[in-house]
Structure 1
Amino acid sequence: MVKQNLLISDGKLGGGLAISLEILGEDTCLEISSSSSRRKLMKSESQPGGKVATFLASMRDSSPTRFRDTTDRFGTDERISWVVRHPSALALGMFDQIVHASRGKQIVMFLDYDGTLSPIVEDPDRAFMSDEMREAVKDTAKYFPTAIVSGRCRDKVYSFVRVAGLIYAGSHGMDIKFRNKKSRGEAVSFQPASEYLPMIDEVYQILLEMMESIPGAKVETNKYCLAVHFRCVDENKWSVLAEQVRSVLKGYPKLKLTHGRKVIEIRPAIEWDKGKAVEFLLKSLGYANSDDVLPVYIGDDQTDEDAFKMLRDRGQGVGIIVSRVPKETDASYSLQDPSEVMHFLRRLVEWKQYSNLTY
């Protein structure tokens, strides 16, 4: 482990901002002693990343073949700058800042699944969450309305989580069903893309046959959207895979392509995403345009950025990106991996239990 002490100039204080930085392999921990200086630094602009010219370049950008490939693109200064602008939700003072913002408000938790509650694995059918994480999610739901917002099929993500009483929003929020406890168990159901099901099934069958020619490629149906996983595909074959998927979609203008970590997704070309899903759920729970709620969204992928942006534009809520490496994000805070997500959920429950005893 290498520990570095750095000084960042702070003209307002007439001195400097002391930072203790610990680097352990690929992990970075940053503690900042001045909250006013931290806020000033967080307002600094993001490092320019350049525009992605092609879909293939975009695939590579979001899907590094090795973890080290991504970290090596950033120097220490860039990593420090990113952590300053997106401090750990578990860092000294940051967790207190989050819970302080919830005073007099109802926290509503929104959680992505893959990469947030479970690790990213080569076989998407084996993306199991740990029993410890399941208990943490179950305890969280005892104190806060909790929703799982995933690109997975709603039934599949439920089979992974297996916690009753949660809200499950599958297919990036295009498949929502739950019973609203605030409305005496009233059933809430929303599937804005139902008319696309025959088309999506047709494309699924085409892609299943087509991807047989690309070793390692896997096509997954998530009911209202499709996922073409290329985690196990040789990088030299990515361009072939991308071209084949795009060629299929040319015949289906009502569908669109998006991408995430080692996955290409096919979705209905409608104005709906995880941000819209969170807005819908807040409204269904009775918190539309309410000052009495603090939405907290935790996610790791590009599709979660729609939710982060919605919370930022709303000016009310907390976005937490799960990432070990710097990336462009509208989230305010960060956590490194699912183990830190579990730690954050446990700490939130402990804070709520203590506050219930003292107030």
Structure 2
Amino acid sequence: HGAFLKKPDQPWERLDLSTHDWVAPIRTIMTGFVGRLPGSFIEEKETAIAWHYRVAEADDVENQAVDLAARLRREPTPVPLTVIQGSKVVEVKPALHSKGTVALSVFGQKPYDFIVSIGDDTTDEDMFRQLPNWAYTMKVGAGISFARYRLARQQDVETLLQYMQETLIDP
């Protein structure tokens, strides 16, 4: 989600160097929801923590997810956080970095004459917003998006990339 950057011929660079003091109180809140919703679970990542409820066994699981996200947004934390409601997941990460901030950093270093950005996740919207208006931004799947174009499903991405590879000619 914008916490790491990989440049050609270089190792991954971690951009998010913020403290992890914010994780413990967020984990405690999420643990309470795991106790209420069998089948839900917590995933701790290097720079984020997520509550997954894809297989949770409850009729009101979507309402529970909305409640959790609202509670997490109200929680006082030592660093600003972003709460992301994705597909059957509520994720929390430091607000300092996003795919949009990485896009600004990468594409601000030198001029580009062609940019393609394809994504299917809520976090991709930050990137779509930050790219120049002439960039080819594509949302995969349904939903509101800042992308200029839409592809219906993942297979369409593969078809598009294969077509580009077969038909584009090196200058």
Tell me the TM-score normalised to structure 2 length.
0.80
**Pairing 1:349–2:165 present:** yes
Count of equivalent residues: 167
Aligned residue for 1:321? 139
Which residue of 209, 220, 229 maps to 2:31? 209
- Aligned to 2:146, the other structure's residue is in SS state coil
Please tell me whether the aligned partners of residues 4 and 12 of structure 2 are also in contact (alpha carbons under 8 angstroms): no
Partners in 1 of 2:25 and 2:39 — Cα distance?
19
**Cα drift, residue 179 of structure 1:** 4.3
Cα 1:252/1:242, change in 2 over 3 Å: farther
Please tell me whether the aligned partners of residues 117 and 128 of structure 2 are also in contact (alpha carbons under 8 angstroms): yes
| Structure 1 consecutive aligned stretches of length 4 or more whose deviation exceeds 6 Å | none
- Aligned to 1:173, the other structure's residue is in SS state coil
Structure 1: which 5+ runs fail to align?
A: 1-171
**Pairing 1:174–2:3 present:** yes
Partners in 2 of 1:328 and 1:242 — Cα distance?
18
Which residue of 325, 328, 340 maps to 2:156? 340
**Cα drift, residue 321 of structure 1:** 0.8
**Pairing 1:237–2:53 present:** no
Structure 2: which 5+ runs fail to align?
A: none
Please tell me whether the aligned partners of residues 30 and 68 of structure 2 are also in contact (alpha carbons under 8 angstroms): no
**Cα drift, residue 262 of structure 1:** 1.8
**Cα drift, residue 294 of structure 1:** 1.3
**Cα drift, residue 296 of structure 1:** 0.7
Show CA shifts across 1:314-349 (max 9, x none): 2331101111x4x32221111111111111111111
- Aligned to 2:90, the other structure's residue is in SS state strand
Cα 1:244/1:344, change in 2 over 3 Å: closer
Cα 1:347/1:220, change in 2 over 3 Å: same
Partners in 2 of 1:204 and 1:219 — Cα distance?
11
Show CA shifts across 1:71-115 (max 9, x none): xxxxxxxxxxxxxxxxxxxxxxxxxxxxxxxxxxxxxxxxxxxxx
**Pairing 1:295–2:106 present:** no
Q: Which amino acid aligns with 1:316?
A: W
Partners in 2 of 1:342 and 1:225 — Cα distance?
29
Q: Which amino acid aligns with 2:84?
A: T
**Pairing 1:199–2:17 present:** no
Aligned residue for 2:48? 225
Partners in 1 of 2:90 and 2:145 — Cα distance?
20
Partners in 2 of 1:207 and 1:223 — Cα distance?
19
Please tell me whether the aligned partners of residues 173 and 273 of structure 1 are also in contact (alpha carbons under 8 angstroms): yes
- Cα RMSD between the aligned structures? 2.6
Please tell me whether the aligned partners of residues 204 and 221 of structure 1 are also in contact (alpha carbons under 8 angstroms): no
**Cα drift, residue 275 of structure 1:** 1.4
Higher percent of residues as helix? 1
**Pairing 1:274–2:103 present:** no
The structure showing larger relative contact order (alpha-carbon pairs under 8 Å, at least 6 residues apart) is: 1
**Pairing 1:331–2:147 present:** yes
Partners in 2 of 1:281 and 1:220 — Cα distance?
29
- Aligned to 1:293, the other structure's residue is in SS state coil
Q: Which amino acid aligns with 1:243?
A: D
Cα 1:203/1:341, change in 2 over 3 Å: farther
Note the 1:44-193 alignment, pairs <5 A. 172-176=1-5, 178-180=6-8, 185=9, 189-191=13-15, 193=16
**Cα drift, residue 282 of structure 1:** 2.5
Partners in 1 of 2:54 and 2:122 — Cα distance?
16
Partners in 2 of 1:244 and 1:350 — Cα distance?
47
Cα 1:350/1:235, change in 2 over 3 Å: farther
**Cα drift, residue 246 of structure 1:** 4.4
Larger radius of gyration: 1
Cα 1:301/1:187, change in 2 over 3 Å: closer
Q: Which amino acid aligns with 1:319?
A: T
Cα 1:248/1:318, change in 2 over 3 Å: closer
Please tell me whether the aligned partners of residues 256 and 268 of structure 1 are also in contact (alpha carbons under 8 angstroms): yes
**Cα drift, residue 206 of structure 1:** 2.1
Partners in 2 of 1:259 and 1:230 — Cα distance?
11
